[in-house]
């Protein structure tokens, strides 16, 4: 499986993703600089977290116009799996590859903790190694993680089972107290309609080794790898 990790100026989670994928799947990803307009075939493209373009204008806004994004949009239409983590999720919404938008956290605090996330839909190439409604503990670290969409979009996301992860309590209940940023319906991650593009605010690459405090993220990468194979 050939994996690409895109690097924008200001991305800072590219190496963690490289490390996690290499350790878990044995595949060494390739880094793709954001200016690459043409690149070889990849089976998975990852947009990492960080502060692309310093979050100037809006998070992910400038990066969504990077030269590489035209080709990434074409590949997403062909069904190539694409993951956006944190700033990557923001870039995907700004690029309109995913619905909705990520706004400033409601409590105006940068949240940095281990969030409890429910696997709302385990019938995707990214989540099939998890049990349905399984509760995971995955780190989050963001100031602009409040997922927003209008009520028509929300209905689409619900009806088409595009909500993949939601913030929850230890039993999987969706409670306000467990919503770290005010996201609508506690949404932590969504997919596109075809199910090949996933955006999520939590960082699975930060809990893919026990020594880092958790390994709930391992099965995320295993799911994609096994779906490919």
Partner 1 sequence: MKVKIEVMLRDEILDPQGNTIKKSLNNLGFKRVTSVRQGKLIEINLKSKPSIQERQTIKKMCEDVLANSLTEKYKIKFFKK
> Where do contacts with partner 1 occur on this chain (CB under 8 A)?
57-58, 61, 65, 94, 100-101, 103-108, 148-150, 182
Q: Which is nearer to partner 1, 187 or 224 (CB)?
A: 187
The closest of 14, 43, 37, 39 to 229, measured between CA atoms, is 43
Q: Does the annotation mark 161 as catalytic?
A: no
Q: How far is the CB of 28 from partner 1 (least distance, A)?
A: 36
What CA–CA distance (Å, rounded) separates 5 from 118? 26
Q: Which of 94, 144, 168, 203 is catalytic?
A: 203
Q: Which of 86, 149, 168, 207 is catalytic?
A: 86
Helix axis angle, 218-228 relative to 14-25, nearest 10°? 60
Q: How far is the CB of 106 from partner 1 (least distance, A)?
A: 5
Q: Which is nearer to partner 1, 122 or 153 (CB)?
A: 153
Q: Does the annotation mark 142 as catalytic?
A: no
Q: Which is nearer to partner 1, 15 or 58 (CB)?
A: 58
Residues near 89 by Cβ (< 8 Å), separated by ≥ 6? 47, 60, 98, 102, 189, 199, 200, 201
CA 134 to chain centre: 18
Residues assigned a catalytic role: 86, 203, 205
């Amino acid at each position: 499986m050939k994996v690409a990790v895109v690097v924008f100026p200001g991305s800072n989670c590219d190496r963690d993703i490289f490390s996690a994928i290499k350790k878990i799947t044995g595949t060494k990803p390739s880094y793709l600089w954001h200016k690459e307009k043409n690149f070889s075939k990849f089976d998975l493209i990852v947009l990492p977290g960080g502060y692309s373009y310093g979050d100037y204008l809006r998070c992910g806004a400038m990066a969504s116009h990077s030269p590489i994004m035209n080709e990434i949009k074409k590949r997403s239409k062909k069904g190539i799996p694409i993951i956006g983590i944190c700033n990557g999720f923001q870039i995907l919404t700004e690029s309109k590859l995913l619905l909705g938008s990520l706004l400033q956290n409601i409590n105006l605090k940068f949240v940095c903790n281990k969030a409890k996330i429910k696997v709302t839909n385990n019938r995707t190439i990214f989540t099939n190694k998890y049990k349905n409604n399984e509760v995971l503990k995955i780190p989050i670290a963001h100031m602009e993680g409040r997922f927003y969409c209008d009520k028509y979009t929300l209905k689409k996301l619900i009806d088409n089972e595009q909500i993949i992860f939601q913030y929850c309590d230890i039993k999987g209940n969706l409670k306000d107290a467990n919503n770290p940023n005010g996201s609508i319906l506690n949404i932590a991650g969504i997919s596109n309609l075809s199910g090949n593009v996933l955006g999520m605010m939590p960082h699975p690459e930060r809990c893919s080794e026990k020594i880092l405090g958790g390994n709930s993220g391992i099965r995320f990468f295993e799911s994609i790898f096994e779906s490919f194979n």
